[in-house]
Each structure stands twice: as structure tokens, then as C-alpha cells.
Chains A and B, each alone.
Chain A
Amino acid sequence: MTAPKNDSLPPERELKVGIGALVETRTFDVPDGDAPPWDATTKFAVVGADVDRQDGIAKASGRAKYAYDITFPGLLQAVILRSKIARGKVATIDLEPARGMPGVAAVIGLKDAGKKVRFVGDEIAAVCAPTIDQCRDALERIVVTYEQEPHTVDFLQSSDAPVVDDSGELVDPWSEDGDLDKALAAATVAHTGTYRTEVQTHGSMETHGAVAKWSGDDLDLWMSTQATFGVRGEIAQAMRAADVKCTGVTIHAEFVGGGFGSKFTAGAEGRAVALLARAANAPVKLMLDRYEDHTCAGNRPAALMQFRAGLDQDGVITAWDQRTFGGCGHNGQGGGVAIPDHFLRKAARRKDRMHKDLATDADPGRPMRAPGHPQGFFGAELFLDELAAAAGLDPLVLRQKNDPQAIRQQQYTLGAERFGYAKARADAAANNAQKGVRILRGVGVASARWGNLGNDGRGRDGSGGHSALCRIHQDGSVEARSGAQDIGTGLKTVLAILTAEELGIRAEQVRATAGHTSDPSGPAAGGSTTTPSLAPAIRHAAFLCRQQLASKVADHLGVAATEVVFADGKIGTAAKSLTFADACKLIGPNPLEARGERFPNYKGDPFERGVCGLQFAEVEVDSWTGLVRVVRMLAIQDCGIVLAKKPAESQVLGAMIQGIGFALHEQRIMDRQSGRMLNGDFLRYKVPGAVDIPPMDVIMQSVANGHTNCSAAGLGEAPSCAAAASIANAVFHAASVPLRHLPITPDKVLKALSQRKAK
């Protein structure tokens, strides 16, 4: 039974925030007009329940139409001509021979003579024709000559690269830092280690691209994007020479097959398809193939990290130092690394950031799910396990001793119990101590964090702002609409659940739509922003619609509107009520409609300014073959009040699977001679398949933060921090030697085990 909600409540100021035994009362300044905020005492009917994903059947049955699936009569295909050299200049380019090829409707240059070429795959020209084969034939006729220059695709071969010895250790001396050096010298236990990760590509199921269709000066783009409103503005700017305005561009992205950070920009392909469709005066489709997607659409940069730290006799980290390098693309940007610094509250640290991005002649990086965090958390969390081993401490205990975060402290206890951590560690140790044992076992743990409570989308002057739309129709159907995109995170399900909760109906009764810029604006799907930014707006929209409907029902029943309660599909009082369907008959031919506002985060002290998580992994290491198998994983994760349980769990599971890939399989392999990616497909660039994915459990924790009417916090990135790190720590436990270079492939395992044996 939903807790009675009526509209007579004064704006609340005191809220119960927190989780379980940590719940406390805090005061918040709730804006007038907002829906009464939910808190730790609210009883829900739909929120947090096992509600199916709104578009689950559509996706599973193939009914969902992604950009890739959009077609029109007379649709043309398009393909991009790409550079085969990694560095140099276009000396000459002749597009004319392509124009005369059969079927070719338009040819455009993307790089003029004299322009720089920066990587294999750099965009040179594009062609559209009725078939992809005709496009490819035409591309072969384009004559390009280059002034080629020497290139490098290995960041450790770049001119600014640090010196690394044969064992992978950075050997340059550390620069002096008085207080830090003193703290390190005074430490009871000190340790140093160097860690490395390789370039990981995003590997979205749907590649980048779009279908473009012009009607006069208006452009409709069905695009695989995670920033509907952002790419609308981008395309309008890119087409400004053709007098295209934002108001003439409509983006459609109702279904998006993943993005993970790579689809914030329209990309060269987005601009090209708009230009081609204009030139051809016909709808055009340009979707990258898998090789292009791997090599020309961004990646997570590589990282090289060295840490040194000291512990006191109580296991408290008293000193911490780090220097890091990013292995980037041609722009030499975006390789920053983030570490779990929640463990370092008592540590002396260097004031200046010691990070350097190193450029290569390769595709530039793009943001990728928790930029910098999976790399940094892998290195730092493995380093912590080594530090714990050096001090004779259990790695979990070391974390408990150094983590001031109350929620995660709870998670250590809960997680250890649910995973059977102590017994599993002891069993693994006993197994590994057997003489001649082939299969080594290990158990690891790592932390996760992210900090995003969403925003109102307003400028500093108060202009703009996110909003969402709710409509209730006479026939009882309900709409929840946002123009922001659902890239698979479950935004549509969130919209439906919040609307249903507010109206006292089932989520299945609400039709949620997202991804068309004709609907109210919202943020890009990045930084774990979308749900915490939009959920309060849709709840507010439903709240306003509820007030309108309550008024009609009150008139009909002859009761005060303030007494009307929405619950269990009924609207009214304990004595008199209508079913939701009958109540909607009072609406008339025009729907009830309300645009919900996303108020600023409440003034006050939210219980937590981000989210906390923890992941456990158990692995088997085959000492004969070097193969690592993940046996099981457990994640504990909060995300404010858990609004949509299934999509939330799915987010965490996806991050864990992506983490398995990062830890054990995925790496971009470049040919130094040609500068070309050698494994630009899913056969040789190995993402986890069914056999690689172990039983995985997720415990979602609901934390009332008190910062908005529904206390949602961003979830997408946090679980990405811990997954690979927990696996690497489990491998360290199994092998008794740290594998400091991801991915942990069999060759590295066998080398490490042989070196351990030699010692």
C-alpha cells in the first residue's frame, strides 16, 4: 500500500536521511511548489520494486528501432574514406573520379590538400550511393596522395615518455617534497609499485552513426547519441554555412545501443551524413562498421601509474605519493587518472599533481565510463593489497581502517558476510599451500565511488533548466516524456516508475518516451547525471498532474481535494473513491498536462554527496596455462533512493562485465610499422562472452540523501571503478605475486609465476 500522499502537507523541512542504523534527521530548504520529498521513512509501492524495463520486450523482440534500423524509401548509404597513413599531410586529393561512379549521389571532402593527417582512420572524404558496395567502389576512385611523416603509436616510445625498466617499473627518481618525504621516512611499512593499463575501446553494441533526412532547411537526424540536445546544437553549428538553425534540427534517439562516453559528439560521421543528405537531396544513412568504431570513435586511454605509500603501526596510511601518465591519441589529452583517495584522509600528500598525458599518432580518446577511474582504481587498489600484504594485514581490514565513509563501512561488513569473504580467503590460502597444486584460488575486494547528485540544468542566472512532461488522458493512459536519451541505462523505466508511484498506479500503465528533442530538455547521459537530474522533474510533473486530477475527483465525489489520496489504482478517500480509469473519464477530450520542474538541489547537508560501492571477486588461476577464470562476483552499491531496481542492478552487472573485459581480455593492439589497429573486431578484440561471465550478485542499497524530492544519485560510473580492481586483487591473492599490467593475459600470468618460483 502506498503511503497516503495528499497535497495539504506544508513544505517539509526536516527529513529522515541515511540508511538503516545510520538514519538521522536533517533540515533542508525545500522549494515552494516541489512535490513533498521522499525520505528514509517513505513506503513505496512501485519505487524500488522489481519492475520490468519499459522497453525490455521491444529490445528483446527486435521491435525497438535504433538509428541503425531507420530506413526510408530511396535511402542512400554512405561510407567514409579514411587515411591509411598515421601521420603527415594530404598532398593532393581528387574527388572527381568518384562522382562519375554508378549510383553515386554525392561526394564530399572532409580534408583538403595541405591538411594534417593524424592517425590511420582519419577522415578524408565521404560518398553516398544506393548501396555500400557502390560507395566503396567510388571511394577507391578518389585519388589522395600524402606527405608521410614518421609516427609512433606506443605512448612509451613518445619523446616525453618516462624511463621504464624491464620489469615495468618507473625508474626516474621522485622529486623532493619535504613533508611527504618525512612521512614516508617515518612509516612503519613503506611500499612502491608501478601499474599499467592498455587502451580499451568502448565497444558499444550499436556503432556510431546516423540517418539524415532534410525537409527544406529542416533536418531530422536519427542518431546513436548520448547527448540529444548537445548534438543538435553541434550539428546546427557545423551546418551554419547552410543557414541551418538549432530550431530546424530535430534529433531522434529513442533507442541507443550503448555509448559509454563515446557518443557525446556527433562526430565526423554525424557531420558527414548531414552534408551528404543535403548534397544528395535524399535521406542518407552512415553507420560506422565495427573496425571504424574500434579505431575512429574514441577509447579509454592507456595509463602508467607509480605509487609509493607508508603505513603506521596501526595500519593507517600516513603517506601517499603518485605520478601518472596517460597514453593518449594524437591530441595528447584525456589520459588523467583518478584513485580511491577516500582511503587517504590521514595521509601526507604532494600538493602538485604529477600527471602527464603522452600523445601518439592514434585515434584520440573520449570519455569512457568513469573516465580515469578504472585505470586508477586498478592500480591503487592493487597497490593497497600489496601494502596490506607487506604489513601482514588482511586487505579488507586495511580498507576498514582507512575508510571514513559510514556507508562503505556498512558495506564492508555486509559484503564480507554475504560473500563469505573470510572463509573463501582461508580456503583459497589452504588450497594454494598444497604442494604441486595446479589451480590456484584467490579472493579480492575493491572499492567504488562517484559523486553526482544531479543538477537543475539552469545557468547561473537561473535561465533554462531541465524539465519533464506528464500527460493523463481521458482513456486512462498516461505519458511521461523527456527529450533526453536513454542509452540503455533505464531512463524510460525511471520516468514510468516515478509517474506511477505519484499517481498510485502500476508502472506498466505509463508509457514513457525519451530521446526526441521535440520533448523537454535534459542533460547528456554522462557523469552519472541523467537520472538524478531528471527523476525529480518527472516526479514534479506527475505531482502537478495529480493535483489537477485530484481536483476533478474531489468535485465529483463531493470531498475536499486535500483529502484525496492516490493509491492502489484508486483515487479518493477511505469512504468514497473511483478507480483510476473512472477518474480519468472526468478529464475530457484534452489531456491533463504538466511540465515538471527540476528544482535546484535543496540547500542543506545531504547524507552523502555521492555514492559508495564495494565489489568482491573470486578467481581461479591455472598455473599450467596461465588462464584466469572469474568464479563469482558480488557488488554492493548505493545510488541514493533506488528508483528502478532492475535497471539499477543491470547497470552494476554491466559494469562488472566491462570490468572483467578490462581486467582480463581487452586491449587495443597496434602495429608499430603501419600505425594500424590489428584487432579491430570482436574476434580478436575480446570482450567477455557468456563463458567468461561468472555468477554475479548485486545488492542495491537505498540511501535517502535528502537533496531532491526523490533522493536519486548517479549510478552509471561508480561500479566501473571497482570491477577490474577486485579481480586483479583476487589474482594477486591466488598467485602470491601482483599482476600489475592489465589485461592479465596468460602470458603475463605464466611469466609472473615463473619469476615467483625462481625467487
Chain B
Amino acid sequence: MDENKPVTHRDLTPKHLCPAMIMKPLLTHGMDDVVHDGRQWPGDGHYWCAKTCTCVGPDDEHVHPKDCGPLRSCYDGPRPQS
């Protein structure tokens, strides 16, 4: 990644993020907003699942962009094509 290029929430979002995972920038349409503080993950650190309406997924594990991907049993997105 170019060090001088502004980093956005979208840049920090894993490609195959589960569509059931929600964070504030998705609701405020702020995915292209620039983040300034060197954070690793998008949003403000608060994530939840649309299926449970809490920060715990249907598989009883926490919701997080690093975890809510195709390898998770409750993943709800289209499977990546190899």
C-alpha cells in the first residue's frame, strides 16, 4: 500500500467480508471516509451481526472483520470463486 495515499475504511475492509456484518460506516455511507490514526480495521471498532442483532454471531463467536469471512460456518456471502 502506498504510504502517502489516504487510507479509507474500504481499504481496511477484507474483500470477502460477510454481508451480515455491520459497522457504522456501512450505515452512514462513510466507507470512503479517510482514517487517520493507523487503525488496522475499518469502522470505530464496533461490529455486529444482522442475523443476531448483537456483536456475537450465530456460531456464538464474536463478530469482527478479521473473523467474518468465508471460513466461518455462518458466513452469508457468496463463496469466493477460485
Contacts and interface: CB of A to CB of B under 8 A. Distances in A.
Contacts of A240: 51
A353 B37 contact: yes
Interface string B26-42: 11111011001111100
A455 B39 contact: no
A333 B45 contact: yes
A330 B46 CA distance: 12
A579 interface: no
Given A265-B22, A266-B53, A336-B44, A331 B29 contact: no
Interface string A533-544: 100000000000
A234 B63 CA distance: 15
Nearest to A337: B37
B29 A353 contact: no
Given A333-B46, A455-B30, A265 B37 contact: no
Contacts of B56: 116, 118, 331
A364 interface: yes
Main secondary structure of the interface of A (DSSP, over half): loop
B29 A264 contact: no
Contacts of B48: 265
30 contacts: A115-B60, A116-B56, A123-B54, A230-B26, A234-B22, A235-B53, A237-B20, A237-B51, A265-B54, A267-B54, A326-B45, A333-B47, A333-B55, A333-B62, A336-B45, A338-B37, A351-B38, A352-B38, A353-B38, A353-B40, A365-B45, A371-B44, A371-B46, A372-B44, A455-B28, A457-B29, A460-B32, A524-B28, A526-B28, A533-B29
Interface residues of B, number: 33
A335 interface: yes
Contacts, number: 116
Contacts of B29: 455-458, 466, 523, 529, 533
Contacts of B26: 230
A371 B43 CA distance: 10
Contacts of B64: 331, 333
Interface in A283-341: 326, 330-336, 338, 341
A588 to B, nearest CB: 37
Contact of B24 (A229, A271, A335, A526): A526
A238 B53 contact: yes
Contacts of B53: 234-235, 238, 265-268, 270-271
Given A115-B60, A353-B38, A268 B28 contact: no
Given A234-B53, A268-B53, A271-B53, 11 more contacts: A115-B60, A230-B22, A233-B50, A237-B20, A270-B53, A331-B64, A357-B45, A365-B46, A371-B46, A455-B30, A527-B33
A523 B54 contact: no
A240 B19 CA distance: 14
The 8 closest A-B pairs by CB, nearest first: A334-B45, A353-B38, A524-B27, A237-B50, A230-B27, A371-B44, A271-B53, A334-B46
Interface string B2-29: 0000000000000000001010111111
A379 interface: no
Contacts of B24: 264, 367, 524, 526-527
Contacts of A466: 29
Interface of B is mostly: loop
A116 B48 CA distance: 17
Contacts of A266: 53
A364 B28 contact: no
B60 A116 contact: yes
Contacts of A351: 38
Contacts of B39: 336, 353
Contacts of A116: 56, 60
B59 to A, nearest CB: 10
A367 B46 contact: yes
A249 interface: no
Given A227-B27, A372-B44, A527-B28, A331 B55 contact: yes
A331 B57 CA distance: 12
A366 B46 contact: yes
Contacts of B20: 237
A207 interface: no
A364 B51 contact: no
Contacts of A331: 47, 55-56, 62-64
Given A336-B45, A353-B38, A523 B55 contact: no
A452 interface: yes
A336 B27 contact: no
B15 to A, nearest CB: 14
B9 to A, nearest CB: 11
A460 B9 CA distance: 13
Contacts of A341: 36
Given A333-B45, A372-B44, A238 B37 contact: no
A425 to B, nearest CB: 32
A118 B36 CA distance: 32
Contact of A526 (B27, B36, B45, B52): B27
A233 B25 CA distance: 15
Nearest to B40: A353
